Each structure stands twice: as structure tokens, then as C-alpha cells.
Structure 1
Amino acid sequence: MISPDRSGPLNLFTSRLEGITGAERQQAVAALQRAGLPTRRVEAWKYTALRALGQTSLSAPAALYDAKAARAVLDDVLSAQDSLASLPRLVFVNGRHAPELSVLPKAVTVTFFADTPRFGTTAAPDRDPLVALNTALAEDGAQIQVEAGVDGGALVLLSIGLGVQGSAFSFHPRHAVTLASDARLELICVQAGQGAYFHNPVTDISVGSGAALEHVTLQLEGAEAAGLGTVYADVASEGVYDSFALGVDGLLLRHEVHARLGASRAAVHVNGVQRLGGSQVGDMTSVITHAAPDCISRQTVRNVLDGHARGVFQGKVLVEQIAQKTDGYQMNQALLLSPDAEIDAKPELEIYADDVRCSHGATVGALDDEQLFYLRSRGVPEAQARQILIEAFLDETLGLISHAGAQALCRAMLTRKGAAGESA
């Protein structure tokens, strides 16, 4: 029985957690009973409250969904960047695979959590309550495997949330991506939807020796939705995990990455952009662990915040004693378009090795009045001038996305967000 006085937001899931069977799921429930869901008293959640989940119990989504609405969301994403329409795609609606909207890939092996549940070994439900919640309640997800030496090309993983008026629900997809030695894959994850819901995906990633995964995530959730995703990535010798996250739509967003460089000459890139307005809260949190020598990590995150929006950046680089000759870099920059916007930045270095090169930094500023005046003096309307400067601020970071279609989709969504802000 969940204790109401200790669990806080966990009360929203009480009815679904009781009667859970299976050893791994029961262990996750026990972890939740001990810790509850995080509040602001938990250091890693100091700046991000779960109030957006509401006060009503969050049920499981109905098995049937509005097929017309799901198709509309899919078409909206594909129309924003036409080149994505030709790519294979795995589509999930309210956390369940939708085969009628999917186009299965040929170069990679795909199975589904609903058919063969596998929780993997990288994610840590005993340390992360949201991973524990996912472990307890996961119903489906994509399990993607690329064999040794195979170039899997590009694959779209689209999660659609369809909120229903008067119904509060949550879904918890459990995805896994495994690249064997010298394999390649470009994975474009799009989290989109309409209305209110709670989306809590967990992705367990293993990058083998000499393998390379480009992982782009776009958070385009429903206007009243909460999307809190957690990624665990383990990278072997000479492997590369190159990730990028874009936070645009949703009432509460959090993209959390735990990356471990487990063997020499591995590399991790954890980059991102947040473009928020209104009362949105967006949180990009990372823990990059150097657990082997001669490894590289890079992190660049830029935020553009308007209205009463609040951005959060928490980036930790942990260098273990064995990880000599580590090269780690981390930078967070924010552009505040409103006096009511807020950025909370907490870069961290925790170093136990003595032969390393590590640095971090953070900057906060506003649009440059002189640059704005220059554009205005040459006949550029103010709204357009502001958008030009915003795009210039984000351009370098967006250029870190290697896949042309994914980069174009990110740019299109940022342009759409800017246009919506001008008309608000």
C-alpha cells in the first residue's frame, strides 16, 4: 500500500501500482514506496516541480484512440519536413504501437516490449523514481537492434499523445536501442500530441565498440501535456553517442540523459535547444560519467525564453579516478526575451583524476539593442528583426545535428514557434 503522506505526487498512480506482478516491476514499486516521486527537496529536481501533473489520478489510456487525430499529428510532423516521409517509422499512440501508421525498417531488427518485455541493464529504477514508475507501468515500446557492421540508416520513432477532454491519463513507453560493433544508426525521436496527458518514456541505449548512434529528440507535446523523458546510454571503446534534444511544446518538459563512457576512446555529445514561452517549464538535465581513460564529452545547450517561461539546465560531468586524459566541455547559454522569463543553470564538474582537461560555463543575456536597431534602421520590421537575431543565436547549436532532415525539422519547428509567439 502506497503511503499518502510520504508519496506526494505518487498518489496519482496508487490504483495502478497496486497488484503489480513480476519481480522487476515489484522491485520498482518497492523503490517508489521508499522514495515517492521527486519533489523540490530532491537536489536533482530543485528547479522542476511536478505540479503540472495535476491532482487527479492518472489512469491508463484507453485501448482505442481517435485514428483521425493521430493521422493529423503524423501528417503535421511529416509535412514540416518532407524528406522524413520516405523514412521507415515506428509510431506509438498513447504508448502503444500503431502498426497501421508505421513503416517497418529493413536494415534493423525491431521487436516490441508488449510482445517480449525486456527492461535492459543500463537504466536504474532504484535511483531514479521516474524510471521506477516506467518500469512498473510500461506496456509497450520499440526494441531496436543493429547488427555488427550494419549501417541502419535513418529511422523515425514517433510517440503521439492524444489527450481526451475530462480524462487524465499517463503512458510510459519503454524503448531500447542496441548497436553491435561498428554499427550505425540515425534515430529521430519525435514526441508530439494534443491536449493534456503525462508522457514518461525511458530509453535504454547500448553503443558497441566502434559503433555510432545519432539520436535526435524533438519534444512537441500537447499544450497541456507533461513530457518527462529519461535516456540511459552506455558507450563502448571508440563508440560515439551523439544526441540532440529540442524542447518546444508542452506545459512541462524534461529531457534527462545519463551517459557512461565505459571504455577508452569513447565519445559522447549531449546537445540541445529549448525555445519556450508562456508559462512553460523546460528542463535539460545530464550526467556524463567518464569511467575510462582517453574519452571525450561535449555539451552545448542554448535556451530562448519568453513570457513567464522558465528554463533549467543541470549538467554534471563525473570523471572517475581511472579516467585519465579525459577531455570534457560543457556550455549553457540563455537568451531572455522577457523580464519575467527565468533560467536556472547548474553546471557541475566532479573530478577524481589528475590528468584531465575539463571546462564548463554559463551565460545569460538579452537581445542586443544595437543589432536590433541596425536591422530596424534598414527597414526590417521589429518582429522579423527579433526572429533573425534569435535564429542567429541558435544557428551554431542546430548545426551540431548531422542528419539534414532532422536538422531541417528542428529549424521548421523553431520557426513555427517564433511565428506563434509573434501572433500571441
Structure 2
Amino acid sequence: MNSVSPTSNAAAFLHRYAGLAGRLPGADIPALRALRDAAAETLTAAGLPSRRLEAWRYTDLAPMLRGEFREALTPVDEAVALPPARADRRAVFVDGRFRADLSSLDGLVAGSLAEVIETVAPRLNTVASASQPMVTLNTLLFEDGLVLEVPAGTDAGRVELLSLVSGETAATVHPRHLIRLARGARLVLLETALSPAGSAHLHNPVFEIEVAEDAVLTHVRVQREAESAYHLAHLGVRVAEGGTYDGFVLNAGGKISRSETHLALLGPRAAAHLNGAQLVANGQLADTTTALDHAAPNCASRQTVKTVLSGRSRGVFQGKILVRREAQKTDGYQMNQALLLSEEAEIDSKPQLEIYADDVKCSHGATAGALDEDSLFYLRSRGIPAGPARAMLVRAFLQEAVEVVADEAAREALDEAVAGWWAQHGEAA
């Protein structure tokens, strides 16, 4: 491994890797050790994201990089208060480590990545890349994650993935989750990320997801971490012929939060839904970035992302749809809408289409505006006070995005998160 540059903004993480390399899971697996060493070399040369990278031009990590992060040291058997379960089967991670004593995975082919690292190491196909620096950092330092496989033709029902960061100041966790659905399988994965108020940690999860032929994965992600935390998530999704990835992400926490999804439709009739909502309050920045690759004919994609901003906050949407030459009869739709509740709020929107096929139906758009004064006047004239009237209009704005989630428990989790955010920030909006 090359020596660490003392000027690298990743120096603290690289020094930690140098000290931990021999103790990380899979340290004795040559291919995995080589993968981590390559990540170290990439970070040494390129560093962590700055606004000089086009993909990060709107999201400045400088406040995070000024912090002094360290490995979370929570004892593996420490008592933890859990929120009520939203599914009969649940995988619980505390500070990035699987807690078997808090989890219930009966009937599933699922468990801790650290415990099966020798088996799954060949599947870790995300190589070190200067264009995906947070994935590279995850590759460098991941210790655990969820491995979940749904056999062919099996409907696994609803499974909850609960990620808790205990609140230790400046802790950093980098879970790597591997989700695979075999041919004709089905799964609803309800993911929730939580941490106590005041926690200033870094949560940097990476998902590698494979959806085989005619399989259907519904993946709902709710991020409600502390408003002083940093949550930077990356999803790599591959969908085969006839498969469907139906995703929804709600970002309602974090000082800086980013949900980045790279999804490839690899076979005919594959489909993807990448919907979401961002609730951003004073001092926060929320970023939804997607790259959707139509690599096969007769595929469809839908994306609607809505952002509500209050106080001096900032929202970012970057969405790119690539239609390759062989992807004839592509049907793609992308829309980003922002509701600004303050004159100090800001939204940066960058929808993109890159099309090389000639028989396609694709559209994209972006809008930004304030609450409709006529609608507000109408509600006030019916005796509804200003606060509840504004809340009703905000809920109506978000409804189009949320209502596409078919799973009842997932919708309840989204509604609860929206209500909690408005209760905390609505008066200041």
C-alpha cells in the first residue's frame, strides 16, 4: 500500500485503515485485502469528495471533513432500546455491527456479512473508483452488513432493516449490505436509520443489490438520524429481464444527507421506480442523486422526487437517465419538484437525459415554488388556522410521491416521519 499523503482530506481514515487492516473481516483473503489496498491507494491519490467533482458540485462535505471521526466502540452486548417493530422479521445493526440478540430472521437466508465473509467476498464487485469516493471509503473500512438472499420463486414478505447509531460523538460506521433476489422471488425491505439527537457521527452505508429475472424488490428507506449527523448512502442495483426494483427514500435527518443510486436495467421488460422525498430544515442539506442506465429494450423507469425546505436550508436533486443504443422502446419519466417555505431556502436541480436510441419515450422536468397563496387563503377562509392550513398543503404536496408506496407498514413509517418533521419544524416554516 502506498504511503498516506499528510495533506489528503482522507488521511484520518487512511491512518485508521493502516492500523485496522489486519483485523478487518476477510483480512486473510488475498482478493479482499487487495480490494481494500486498492481503495486506500485511490483515496490517497484522489481524496474524499470536493465540489471540484461534478457529481458533488452542489454538496460541500467540508464541514464533515473538518471533524475527527473514529471507529464506533459500542460493546457488542450493550442494551439498546429499539423502536416498535414494523415486520415480523428484523435485522438490527448497532453502530454498523449485526446484533443477533436483537434480530429475528427465522425462515430467511440472511445474517451477518462478517460471519460469512469468505463465502460472499467474491460478490464484492465494487472496485475502488475516484468517481465514487464514498464507496471507496466504505470498501476500505466496512466491518459488517446484512447478507440477504431470497430463493427462486419465494415470497419473503416484509423484512425490516434497522440501523441504529448509538450517539457516540464522532463515530463512523460503514456497513456493506448484500441483497440478492433469485428468479421470481419477491421481498419488501423496510429500512430505517435512526440516531439520538445531538449525535455527530458519519453513517456511510453501501448496498449491492441484484434482482434476477421476474423478481420484485420493494425497498423503502427512511433516514431520520440526528440533524448534526452525516448520512451518505450509496446503492448499486442491477435488474435482470422482467425484474422490478421499486424504491422510495425519505431523507428527514442529517446535517448533510445524500442518497446516491446507480441502477442498471439489464434485460428486456425490466423496470425501476426511484421515488423519494426530502424534508430539509434550517442548517441542513439533503441530496438525492441517481444514475439510471437503460441497457436493454422495452424497459420502463419512473422517478418523482419532492423536496420541502424550511429556514436556511438547501436541497439537491441530480438525476440522469442514460438510454443506450440497444435500449429501443424505452419508457422513462423523471420529475423533481421543490416547495420552498422560506426565502432563505435553496434548491439545485439537475435532471438529465442522454439518449442514443431512436425509438423511445422519455421526459423530465423540474419545478420550484412557494405555497400557493390562493389555496392558503381558501383554507383560512374556511376557518382553518394558518399553521394547520400550511401543514395540509405541505402534506398534499408530498402525497403524490408517498402514495406510490403500496406496502401499508412502509406508508405508515413514511407518514410518521413526515408528521414528526412537521411537528418539529412546521412552526418555523
- Per the TM superposition, whether the score is higher than 0.5 is yes
Q: Matched residue of 1:116: which SS?
A: helix
Q: Matched residue of 2:252: which SS?
A: strand
Query: What CA distance in whole angstroms lies between the structure 2 residues aligned with 1:31 and 1:292?
Result: 32
Matched, 1:196 2:207: no
Task: Report the equivalent of 2:300.
Answer: 296
How far is 1:66 from its partner? 9.1
What's the C-alpha RMSD, in Å, of the aligned pairs?
1.5
Matched, 1:361 2:361: no
When residues 173 and 12 of structure 1 are mapped into structure 2, their CA distance, relative to the original with a 3 A threshold, is same
The answer to whether the 8 A contact 1:13-1:57 is kept is no
Unaligned runs of 5+ in 1: 79-83
When residues 339 and 217 of structure 1 are mapped into structure 2, their CA distance, relative to the original with a 3 A threshold, is same
Query: What CA distance in whole angstroms lies between the structure 1 residues aligned with 2:87 and 2:204?
Result: 28
Task: Report the equivalent of 1:180.
Answer: 182
The answer to whether the 8 A contact 1:256-1:286 is kept is yes
Q: Which portions of structure 1, spanning 4 or more consecutive aligned residues, are displaced by more than 4 angstroms? A: 65-68
CA distances 1:145-176 after superposition (whole Å, capped 9, x unpaired): 00000000000001101222xx4220100001
Task: Report the equivalent of 1:27.
Answer: 38
Q: Which amino acid aligns with 1:100?
A: D
Task: Report the equivalent of 2:390.
Answer: 386
Identity score, percent: 44
Q: Matched residue of 2:116: which SS?
A: coil
Q: Which amino acid aligns with 1:103?
A: S
Task: Report the equivalent of 2:274.
Answer: 270
Q: Which amino acid aligns with 2:351?
A: P
CA distances 1:205-236 after superposition (whole Å, capped 9, x unpaired): 00000000000001111221100000000000
CA distances 1:304-338 after superposition (whole Å, capped 9, x unpaired): 00001111000000111111111111000000000
The answer to whether the 8 A contact 1:12-1:55 is kept is no
Task: Report the equivalent of 1:81.
Answer: none
Task: Report the equivalent of 2:343.
Answer: 339
The answer to whether the 8 A contact 2:87-2:158 is kept is no
TM-score w.r.t. length of structure 2: 0.92
Aligned with 1:64 (options 69, 75, 82): 75
Aligned with 2:54 (options 36, 43, 51): 43
The answer to whether the 8 A contact 1:327-1:356 is kept is yes
The answer to whether the 8 A contact 2:76-2:99 is kept is no
Query: What CA distance in whole angstroms lies between the structure 2 residues aligned with 1:222 and 1:411?
Result: 18
When residues 422 and 134 of structure 1 are mapped into structure 2, their CA distance, relative to the original with a 3 A threshold, is same
Task: Report the equivalent of 1:234.
Answer: 238
Q: Matched residue of 2:376: which SS?
A: helix
Query: What CA distance in whole angstroms lies between the structure 2 residues aligned with 1:30 and 1:300?
Result: 37
Query: What CA distance in whole angstroms lies between the structure 2 residues aligned with 1:404 and 1:274?
Result: 20
The answer to whether the 8 A contact 2:284-2:314 is kept is yes
Q: Which amino acid aligns with 2:193?
A: Q
Task: Report the equivalent of 2:115.
Answer: 115
Query: What CA distance in whole angstroms lies between the structure 2 residues aligned with 1:345 and 1:58?
Result: 31
1:141-220 equivalence runs, <5 A = 141-164=145-168, 167-194=169-196, 195-220=199-224
Task: Report the equivalent of 1:321.
Answer: 325
How far is 1:186 from its partner? 0.2
CA distances 1:273-312 after superposition (whole Å, capped 9, x unpaired): 0011111100000000011111111110000000011110
How far is 1:13 from its partner? 1.2
The answer to whether the 8 A contact 2:387-2:427 is kept is no
Q: Which amino acid aligns with 2:66?
A: Q
How far is 1:45 from its partner? 0.3
Q: Matched residue of 2:414: which SS?
A: helix
Query: What CA distance in whole angstroms lies between the structure 2 residues aligned with 1:288 and 1:172?
Result: 24
Q: Which amino acid aligns with 1:115?
A: E
CA distances 1:338-390 after superposition (whole Å, capped 9, x unpaired): 00001000001111111111110000010011111111111111110000000
Task: Report the equivalent of 2:249.
Answer: 245
How far is 1:4 from its partner? 3.2
CA distances 1:213-263 after superposition (whole Å, capped 9, x unpaired): 000001111221100000000000000000000000111100000000011
CA distances 1:11-36 after superposition (whole Å, capped 9, x unpaired): 33132122535111111112212211
When residues 212 and 278 of structure 1 are mapped into structure 2, their CA distance, relative to the original with a 3 A threshold, is same
Task: Report the equivalent of 1:13.
Answer: 13
The answer to whether the 8 A contact 2:272-2:301 is kept is yes
Aligned with 1:419 (options 406, 409, 423): 423
Q: Which amino acid aligns with 2:347?
A: I
Query: What CA distance in whole angstroms lies between the structure 2 residues aligned with 1:384 and 1:105?
Result: 44
The answer to whether the 8 A contact 1:225-1:251 is kept is yes
Query: What CA distance in whole angstroms lies between the structure 2 residues aligned with 1:401 and 1:90?
Result: 21
Task: Report the equivalent of 2:103.
Answer: 102
How far is 1:67 from its partner? 4.2
Count, aligned residues: 409
Unaligned runs of 5+ in 2: 22-26, 28-32
CA distances 1:78-107 after superposition (whole Å, capped 9, x unpaired): 2xxxxx44421100010001122211242x
TM-score w.r.t. length of structure 1: 0.93
Task: Report the equivalent of 2:139.
Answer: 135
Query: What CA distance in whole angstroms lies between the structure 1 residues aligned with 2:132 and 2:233?
Result: 12
My pick for the range that moved more, 374-383 or 121-130, is: 121-130
The answer to whether the 8 A contact 2:175-2:204 is kept is yes
